[in-house]
Structure 1
Amino acid sequence: MTRLCRESWPAAGPPRPVRAVHLGLGAFHRSHQAWYTEHAADRDSWGIAGFTGRSPGTASLLQAQGGLYTLVERGPARDRPEVVGSISAAHDGDDASAWAGWISDPSVALVTLTVTEAGYHLDGAGHLDLGHPEVAADLLRLRPDLGAAARPARTMPGRLAAGLAARRRSGAGPITVVPCDNLMGNGAVTRNVVLEICEAVDPSLTRWVEANVSFVSTVVDRITPTTLAGDLALVERTIGREDRAVVVAEPFSEWVLAGEFPAGRPDWVSAGARLVSDVAPFAERKLGLLNGGHSLLAYAGSALGHSTVAGAVADPRCRAWLDEWWDGVARVLPLPDDEVARYRLALIERWTNPRIGHALSVVARDGSLKLVQRVLPVIHRYRAIGQPPPPGAARILGAWLAHLRGSGAAVGDPRAAELVPLAAGERSAAARALLDALEPGLGADRDLAREIAVTCRELEGMDG
């Protein structure tokens, strides 16, 4: 079978001029930002130079295919494959020379990011964790006196600092950074961690970044399940080419952006993106309803024996818990009731698509990072109006406690060595310890801890 590439698929045309750089060349980037760029009205003027986060595997696959890959849009009844050509160059994330070269190119106008919540290396106060071993190592790598002898930065803040330093040296002018991870106010968060690492390495770079770099906040959404061997075979049969970089995604997608683009951007609006003055209402809606709902299903659903989102949401018990959580979130969302109701209906339609194998084991990862963004803000909104947290909050946190105690999906968390021992033993004490681990002082809420313990016990009684 002929391999997919620009020579074997001439309809893709030659690589487009690189004007955007991306860090985190995984499936979600290819189903989302690269797809929006492919569908922009001015797509011929915008190519992407993509860099992997940790493993060079995806870069190698895309290099062999001239950046081309097939996106399979998986609807409830049929698949629709499409060859995407917006990626013009693909690099190993450790290729510091290519990274600095592209970002210092005056033609490059923006950098997009998909590095997951863990990639921001935040401490408990929301600042860059300068004591984290990887961040500390980057501080040494970025020291100006080490010059070219320094090893490539490995963290997202470190890589951005290195790239922006190269841009300053080249005199290439302003640039925009567009984070696309599930963090409230992700633009401000990214700005803060970049400024903090710059300040620790070279204060003059901090001042340059403040004057020349725009940080845009976003809300992103598109379910992108793991690609399976059957998906590769489907593409071979459909397009008549071997594609080793296939991506599968649901038909729905959303991209909401707020901020300035001093050096320009693709016409993503023509592809369906929304430019707004403030993404906060949309972020609160998504983090609370979609992401919070996903966490509930991941921990409670997997404890009940389900393996996918579709399987869990079809279980009447999970559906009742989901509605309980959503009702609580809806009361404190700054959006009209009818818009929230439509969003909830759309989520159910998306999540019941039986052909999207969205694995609960994947959703369950990194709970200690995700729940801080998805559940704690709802608790604090209720406190602000003098009300106790909604019952759904204890349901999610109780399911997470059960997860850490061995129910359902396997634990995959950067703080697992700390959290799993805390979760063992008497449930109320474990609940208080976990609340304090998520946010110091939160464990003092004895009523919330007691509710978490009760829901954990109930779920463990249903386990399997």
Structure 2
Amino acid sequence: MHLGLGAFSRSHLAWYTARALDARDWGISAYTGRSRELAEVLTTQDGLYTLIERSAEGDRASIIENVVEAHVGGDLASLIADISADETVIISLTITEAGYRVGVDGLLDSTDSHVRADLAALSNIEAEPNPSAIAVSTAIGRLVLGLDARRRACSGPITVMSCDNLPNNGSLLREALLGMAEAIPDTAAWCKQMVSFASTSVDRITPSISPEEQEELAATYGDRAPVIAEPFSDWIIEGEFPAGRPAWESAGARFTDDLEPWESRKLWLLNGAHTLLASLGQLRGHRTVAEAITDPVCLHAVNSFWDEAERHLPATLGLTEYRSALHERFANARIEHQLSQIAIDTPTKLRLRVMPVAVRERESGREADACATVIASWLAAGEQRLVPLGIEAADTGTAFSWDHAVLAVESLSTKLAADGAFLSAVRDELDRVRHILSAAR
């Protein structure tokens, strides 16, 4: 069962499952986050959709058959039935970083109003004869509701697997889920015994499709729910699957006992560069990653950030080859990866993708100038309302000031906000970015 049905899960998880040697033994019952339309379209197409791998040489299309059911996220009756079924042995998630509802300490955020409401609703489950009537709104709350039903049904062990761009995502998911399950003590104890948590590093650029291109693809392929992806894909998995899993390794996935370095390679080099380009690229007037990476100013900033990040990654990860491949992937003009799409929830992404590199650079006695450039670009883009800054005063029209900038850095890392040398570097870089933009105009 999959929570968070969207383009990425269909270009990655479902694609790997469809290519596994035992693909015919595995089906995915998937739930959207909010989209009713996607669930309805896929239902009318019997779950089938076209995956188009787009490269400079052309398009390669294939039909993916392993999504056997598509539901809206709010279909709690079906979700509970799926999770409690003994045949369901894996629950996977692509619910975005924000969907885990965790605080900076990595634990369930008890100050979140949606979390508080779900905890209250779940604590009253004994008084509700119909579990699907329990009013839960978060993905984690719905997951706990289903696992409570699985416990009551005496179904077997199950693996819960995160496929989101979060460091140590399996452990983070475990903490969030167990924190929510504390509302039902018996279920919390059962989860600790019967639920395994897998961590993954996922890597495949999957851009959104414009309405105009959607119409063109529908005419070409007769498909109202196509997915476009780059040819490159990578999937590293760490964890146990006590009730079984598809032979994903036969489709190219890799299993490891130590995911962290692979995860950091991807989060820092690919996602960190994307987050940089979302700010600096838009400031420079670019619309897509492919446009931005051809700009010498953006390219220099990306390479400088990669140089800093690479110092804190094992050489055994093939970093030279990975960086070369990333440049080629970014430059693929036929993958229209919108910078405005990448810019969504920028503060959370910076906290996970850039600040760890900055902290390591400063702890190693270096200036972290490239990281300062990333932060300065974000502040400048936030000043122009191109990306969110995540602090109310700066996001609601108040004139931007250096005090706002310091608050914004503090929201990312209290440690770096207290580092006078780093703040000075950010201020210098902010002035430099503004100067570059002023000169360009």
**TM tier relative to shorter chain:** over 0.9
Structure 1 residue 157, shift from structure 2 partner: 1.4
User: Is 1:352 the counterpart of 2:331 in the alignment?
Assistant: yes
Which aligned pairs between 1:201-220 and structure 2 lie closer than 5 A? 201-220=183-202
Offset from partner CA, 1:350-375 (integer Å, 9 cap, x none): 11111110000011110111111101
Secondary structure at the counterpart of residue 24 of structure 1: strand
Partner residue of 2:281 out of 293, 301, 307: 301
**Aligned partners of 1:146, 1:66: CA distance in 2, in Å?**
37
> For residue 14 of structure 1, what is the aligned residue in structure 2?
none
Partner residue of 2:93 out of 86, 105, 113: 113
**Aligned partners of 2:219, 2:396: CA distance in 1, in Å?**
49
1:416/1:433 CA distance change after superposition, 3 Å: closer
AA in 1 matched with 2:210: L
> For residue 343 of structure 1, what is the aligned residue in structure 2?
322
1:330/1:61 CA distance change after superposition, 3 Å: same
Partner residue of 2:360 out of 381, 388, 392: 381
**Aligned partners of 2:167, 2:397: CA distance in 1, in Å?**
27
Secondary structure at the counterpart of residue 282 of structure 1: helix
> For residue 264 of structure 1, what is the aligned residue in structure 2?
244
Secondary structure at the counterpart of residue 315 of structure 2: coil
Q: CA RMSD in A?
A: 1.8
Partner residue of 2:206 out of 224, 227, 245: 224
Percentage identity across aligned positions?
41
User: Is 1:195 the counterpart of 2:178 in the alignment?
Assistant: yes
Which aligned pairs between 1:44-123 and structure 2 lie closer than 5 A? 44-123=24-103
Partner residue of 1:457 out of 415, 431, 439: 431
1:393/1:421 CA distance change after superposition, 3 Å: farther
Secondary structure at the counterpart of residue 461 of structure 1: helix
Structure 1 residue 431, shift from structure 2 partner: 3.0
AA in 2 matched with 1:208: W
Partner residue of 2:297 out of 307, 310, 317: 317
User: Is 1:395 the counterpart of 2:373 in the alignment?
Assistant: yes
**Aligned partners of 1:311, 1:72: CA distance in 2, in Å?**
21
Secondary structure at the counterpart of residue 356 of structure 1: coil
> For residue 260 of structure 2, what is the aligned residue in structure 1?
280
Structure 1 residue 57, shift from structure 2 partner: 1.9
User: Is 1:176 the counterpart of 2:159 in the alignment?
Assistant: yes
Which aligned pairs between 1:90-169 and structure 2 lie closer than 5 A? 90-143=70-123, 144-147=125-128, 148=130, 150-169=133-152
Partner residue of 1:443 out of 417, 435, 441: 417
1:83/1:383 CA distance change after superposition, 3 Å: same
**Aligned partners of 1:56, 1:63: CA distance in 2, in Å?**
11
Partner residue of 2:22 out of 42, 54, 74: 42
Structure 1 residue 77, shift from structure 2 partner: 2.0
**Structure 2: runs of 5 or more not aligned:** none
User: Is 1:186 the counterpart of 2:169 in the alignment?
Assistant: yes
**Aligned partners of 1:152, 1:254: CA distance in 2, in Å?**
37
Whether contact under 8 Å (1:423, 1:430) holds in the other structure is no
1:416/1:436 CA distance change after superposition, 3 Å: closer
Whether contact under 8 Å (2:394, 2:400) holds in the other structure is no
Offset from partner CA, 1:296-324 (integer Å, 9 cap, x none): 11100110000000000000111111111
TM-score with structure 1 setting the length: 0.90
**Aligned partners of 1:447, 1:420: CA distance in 2, in Å?**
26
User: Is 1:404 the counterpart of 2:382 in the alignment?
Assistant: yes
**Structure 1: runs of 5 or more not aligned:** 1-20
Whether contact under 8 Å (1:112, 1:178) holds in the other structure is yes
**Aligned partners of 2:109, 2:160: CA distance in 1, in Å?**
20
**Aligned partners of 1:236, 1:439: CA distance in 2, in Å?**
45
**Aligned partners of 1:367, 1:230: CA distance in 2, in Å?**
27
Offset from partner CA, 1:377-423 (integer Å, 9 cap, x none): 112223443x135211101111111121116x3x357x353553699
1:161/1:397 CA distance change after superposition, 3 Å: same
